[in-house]
Structure 1
């Protein structure tokens, strides 16, 4: 199996070029978060809050269903 150390010089050169191009994008947030949300429209804030609430409800429902299923599977697997 080849690793970065045993790879060809061309591969290492391409990898370095890729990392140089991608790394600046990944170094920080697109916009600094200074805590000031006054520039965000109220309808966008409301839409985001609604989305977060629906996402939380969905996640809770999925978790509850998984717990019920695991309990049912354990109950079915118990010797009688």
Structure 2
């Protein structure tokens, strides 16, 4: 599916088959604004997305900056009581 087909409110995943880590807030032609749970909003480039389909955006962890990877690693800390 085309990057441009991504819609606001689609779920964001670090990897396919895992729990959602956030939500798409805004989409432009070559980047998107996503909310990462327990962190806040981050801008992701088109190259940071592995694939998107049917309300899911799956990221490419190897392309992400360290601060985003750290945010993803702690996205569910509040739910788990570890932060």
TM-score normalised by structure 2 residue count: 0.18
Q: Which protein has greater RCO, CA pairs closer than 8 Å, 6+ apart?
A: 2
TM-score of the aligned structures, taking structure 1 as reference length: 0.19
